[in-house]
Structure 1
Amino acid sequence: MQAIPRRVAVFGTAALLAAAGGTWGAVQANAATAGTRTCTTNDLYLSMGRQDAAAGSLYWPVRFTNTSTGTCALRGYPGVSVLSTAHHQIGAAASRTGEKYGTVKVTPGQTVTSVVRTTNGPVGGPCNSTGKYLRVYPPASTRAVLVPAPLRVCSGLFTVGPVTTQTVF
C-alpha cells in the first residue's frame, strides 16, 4: 500500500468522534453559536510542528492550517492515534488532558495547534514500536487525516490537548 499524503482524509467512524470530542450536533451547535461554520477536513492541512522535550516528556504540536477561503471554527480535542507503515494502530489512542477549551475561529491561512505528549523514553514502563503516521480526527470530524510522524509512545503515557491559538514552539 502506498503512503497517503497528509491532506488525504481517510477512515470514518462515529464511535471515535464520540470518544474524541462528543457528538457532531453538539459541536456544530457550539460553532454556530459563535457565528462561524465548523472546519471540515477539506478545509484543513495538517502537519507536525517542532518537537520539544522537557522534564522527561516529549511534546509535539499537531498543526491545523485553514486552507479554505473562509473562516471556520474548531472546538475541543482532536482524536489521535499512532499507526504503523501498514496503517495498523499501535497502542491506545491518546487520552485527553482535561484542559478547558473554547471555540477557536481559524481564518484563511491561519494555523492553530493541539499538543500530543508522551514520555521521552521508558520511564516506568516500556515503549511501543515507533509509528509512521498519526491518524488525526480534527474536532467534530468523522474523517481522519494521516500525518507522517515517527512517534514512539512510552510508559503508557499518550495525551492530547485541545485545539488552541496559543503559540506553541
Structure 2
Amino acid sequence: MENLPIWNDNLQLFQMKIFQLYQSLQNTKGSIHTRLVTLRDLLKCCHRLSSLSISLSVDRQLAFYDVLDCFASFLPKTNRSEIIHSIGTLFNMNNQEAEFYAFKSMLEFDDHDNQYFTIGHIKLEIQKKKNQLLQQQYCFAKTRTAMFILERIARSVQMNEPV
C-alpha cells in the first residue's frame, strides 16, 4: 500500500463517501440471516476512524479493518465481496488488494511481553491485580479466523465499546 493520505487533504469528501457507503448499505434488503446496517454502526465507525491519523499505510489498513468490522462483519462471507470492494475504493485499493486484506492476510499475535498484548495492529496493556501471576499454560489455535475475531474483540476493548 502506498504511504499517501487517503483523502489528500479533503476530509469532507472522505466523510461523504463513508456516509454514502452507509446509505447504500442501509438501503440493501437483508435476508433472514443478516441484519441491517444501523446508525450505531456508522457512529461506531466514525468514532474508530477519528482515533487514527490514516496518513500511514498501517493506519490505512487498520482503518480498512475498522470500516469492514463496522459495516460488513455481520454478513455471510459470500455476500461480503461487493461491500469489501466498495470499502476498498474508499482507501484507494483495487479489488484484489481489498479481498487480500479481508480474506487472506494473517495477523501477528504476541503475548510474550508481560506488560502488553499485541494482536494484529492492536496493542493492549495487560492489567494485573496484586499478587496475580500470568499463567502461560493455555492452548490456543492461531488460525486466521480466531486471530481476526480476537483482533475485533481487542479493538472493541481498546475503543471502550461493548463486546
- TM-score, normalized by the shorter chain, greater than 0.5: no
Q: Name the structure with the higher strand share.
A: 1
Q: Give the greater-gyration-radius structure (CA).
A: 2
Q: Which range, TM-score by smaller chain?
A: under 0.3
Q: Name the structure with the higher helix share.
A: 2
Question: Could you tell me the TM-score, scaled by structure 2's length?
Answer: 0.28
Higher RCO (C-alpha 8 Å, min separation 6): 1
